[in-house]
Chain A
């Protein structure tokens, strides 16, 4: 049907067209190959990186926090192995059943149980659910005994913060707790190292040294699939533990201070008068910081928060108190230094019937009967108020404030070390004009002379003041953190006084106050020269004493707690060869002589005994090197 010639034309046509297409095909194939070459050979590195980015994911683990050590290398804040219970929901065959088993074994309350169930709903099924973060050994072993019945449940030993001395160091160290949003925003370091479960310092030195203590994260590298599920572990990079921070404190003294303040509200500070090392610094009442590590329960928190003795406040640093008579050494020193009076200057103290009168105001001495004629030494010894009214009237508040500031009052003792340290207040005429807009009154000078009125100091400032009196008037810098010896660059020798004789006189007057009959703290003296100390009592009024009060003349125990006087005591010792200074404050404790000074007697025994150990410890250290 088809004629031959047409067939030939047709065959020619199809062959020609095939040839054209074949050529096109070769070109296209070349294109595909070159595309493959471009992707697989030329751009290989780029895509290999992208592929690794797809499949490799890193998990940061919480870093191990650095320790705090006391002067002797005892760990006062360390880490312990917390027994935890982890569970991966998808590995559990029957979640309800397993959870109920765990609930029975651990005796969880319904509230805790619901909390865990709620948390489970928030995570992906292959993520870890922390069922319990701090089990005791009994429960942990019970879980381990029942593991055969608990598929997918993992008992884990995890590293967590521990404060072995509990409430002893709470106010110095502070505590750590779960990092909050605020912690992350305010610190680059925390932001960088943050992982779920990271604990950061909330207050105290734990907060101050956060960057040093935090350490670096361990990193687990996993291969993951497209849904983020871990397939296999590729690498584990061990992080570094945070640095250890060494403190100057002596745990033995600290523990004693804590014991002496038990059931009282107050503070004890002990300081080396030459190095400025803080040997102990305790504020009472304290609380156990371990409670915060895994989140404190609401009930416990309310108990601490609502305690009228205010355990959350570090009274050594943040408590502004009227110094009372403990300011008298500074008043006397200032008067001598400015050559206002001589030690022989005498005043007649005639008791409550003949108080000092000034512009219609009366100023009473604490002693009803009066001290009679007293010179400066006698006035210090018996803490005669009338004498110091007269001295401060002659001295004037501005000269007094210069001396007081020189000796460290009215200024943060630790600078920026603590976020919660207060300045205290040393008033002057200029200060009053600026702060209150009023002129200074002479009557205010008079009560400033016995540490009442505007003047406010913190216990650590009083301790520093005493230390600088004890060391002969040299400036020292309080230290809580042990520095490397090489880096001590501070101005070594700043003399705070003009005349050495004056400071000797003050020291002697303080000695008489403690060690001579009729001295205000005579009953707390130690006769053994090894422990003998010199001090000054103080009784700070909390409210103004009215005529009625004076007539009633109530005993401390008969006055309501909030209206009782603060008992204060500052001292240094051993007297022959001074080395340590301390300050004691008992809030609403009554008179300083009968309530604060007796503690000093116990403390000095311990402090001086410990001094031997401390001295030898240093020598040993050098020998080891």
Chain B
């Protein structure tokens, strides 16, 4: 009997391994390798701090993702609110005791690791709202009560992040939240009207922006107004991408980056460097990898039996898509510069941790796709 159970447990373990989405896993690992190579290039063709750090983070967080995926999807359903609340608590903690870097207070010191709770909130807001809407009847979704609650769930962390100040991440958090609302079945007209209102109130919003943020908007509209100042980043970024050409300048040969014309090349502008060195083909392949990852996530959602898993996967996949599109549009000069990392590729532990947690939950949904949640 005991032996039988042990065997069953063992079988359970292998069953779980087999249950992993290998295409998704492969793509994530491939993306990791590409990101490491790119990071190696940002270090000027040497294994320096960024490369090492990125490597260890990637390895640890990939293992973490597998561990997360072995937990039953029910477990993740059950910690939805708790996770959200603890991250919110961390955000409040950040406001008072956070670590300040480059003008904003974003990091919280956890003794062994400095973490950016706002990045984690991108995932946990999805988890929380997915749990919130899981039990809602479709007729109740559009009720006043649930709309207000869900908006509070979104606005609370958003405002906490805006205070830091980190407009980019706040925007991404709210987009993640709104994506969940959309999938939960919130009436189209709400989206339509709020979009209309926000467009109309744009001039007012701009007047509330901080001077440097206004400058970014103005710079986006006309980068050449101050090519060595505010417009420098976007101009140099476009030069780097544009000079890459069809096949790129070659690995480690991106002159814009290694001659230090590119700012923030490790983080938000990592795609610029990649694009300069690998050209149009490389960029399209990278996009393709991202597209496959998102497709797999959505597919996992579609085969999941539970509504919670479905909602989470769809929302997470869509949010990923939004992050990627915003980051790329930004470096390609299609959007004003907002701080938004490219998932996995960009250097930054919290962002990668959040993404990997997301992948882990998706994997868990895959392994336990036949589980239904009461």
Contacts and interface: CB of A to CB of B under 8 A. Distances in A.
B329 to A, nearest CB: 7
A29 to B, nearest CB: 7
B185 interface: yes
B183 A225 contact: no
Contact of B314 (A14, A29, A223): A14
A36 B138 contact: no
B137 interface: yes
Given A13-B138, A226-B260, A18 B275 contact: no
A227 interface: yes
Contact of A29 (B241, B243, B287): B287
Interface in B291-307: 291, 294, 298, 301-302, 307
A225 B44 CA distance: 13
B243 A48 contact: yes
Contacts of B255: 51, 54-55, 223
A-B complex: 7 closest residue pairs judged by Cβ atoms? A47-B242, A51-B243, A225-B259, A40-B280, A226-B260, A39-B242, A47-B243
Given A10-B138, A41-B246, A54 B259 contact: yes
A13 B311 CA distance: 11
A9 B138 contact: yes
Given A17-B182, A18-B314, A226-B259, A7 B307 contact: yes
Contact of A40 (B185, B245, B259, B261): B245
B332 A39 contact: yes
Interface string A11-26: 1011101100110010
B330 to A, nearest CB: 11
10 contacts: A10-B185, A14-B185, A32-B287, A32-B325, A36-B332, A44-B243, A47-B239, A54-B259, A55-B256, A227-B260
Contacts of A44: 242-246
A337 B318 CA distance: 113
Contacts of B238: 39, 47
B135 interface: yes
A206 B159 CA distance: 75
B238 to A, nearest CB: 6
Contacts of B275: 36, 40
B329 A32 contact: yes
A587 B334 CA distance: 83
B245 A17 contact: no
A40 B242 contact: yes
A337 B239 CA distance: 84
Dominant secondary structure at the B interface: helix
Given A14-B311, A17-B182, A223 B332 contact: no
B81 interface: no
A79 B284 CA distance: 60
Contacts of A6: 137-138
A119 interface: no
Contact of A28 (B240, B243, B325): B325
Contacts of B108: none
Nearest to A39: B242
B279 interface: yes
B106 to A, nearest CB: 26
Contacts of A14: 183-185, 307, 310-311, 314
A321 B302 CA distance: 111
A265 B208 CA distance: 84
Contact of A54 (B184, B256, B298, B328): B256
A233 to B, nearest CB: 14
Given A32-B287, A225-B260, A231-B259, A17 B183 contact: yes
Given A17-B183, A44-B242, A54-B239, 12 more contacts: A2-B137, A6-B138, A15-B302, A33-B284, A33-B287, A36-B283, A40-B246, A44-B243, A50-B242, A55-B256, A225-B261, A227-B260
B110 interface: no
A14 to B, nearest CB: 5
A435 interface: no
Nearest to A227: B260
Contacts of A47: 238-239, 241-243
A1 interface: yes
A51 B262 CA distance: 11
B16 to A, nearest CB: 25
A10 B184 CA distance: 8
Contact of B321 (A2, A25, A39, A41): A25
A43 interface: yes
B135 A1 contact: yes
B240 A51 contact: yes
B101 interface: no
B205 interface: no
Interface string A42-68: 011011101100110000000000000
A447 B236 CA distance: 83
A37 B242 contact: no
Interface string B252-269: 000110011100000000
A50 B239 contact: yes
B374 interface: yes
Contacts of A54: 236, 239, 255-256, 259, 261
Q: Which of A10, A33, A39, A226 has the most CB of B within 10 A?
A: A39
Contacts of B314: 14, 18, 21
Contact of B243 (A2, A50, A224): A50
A39 B307 CA distance: 42
Given A47-B238, A47-B239, A40 B325 contact: no
Contact of B183 (A2, A18, A46): A18
Contacts of B184: 14
A9 to B, nearest CB: 5
A142 interface: no
B343 to A, nearest CB: 15
B280 A36 contact: yes
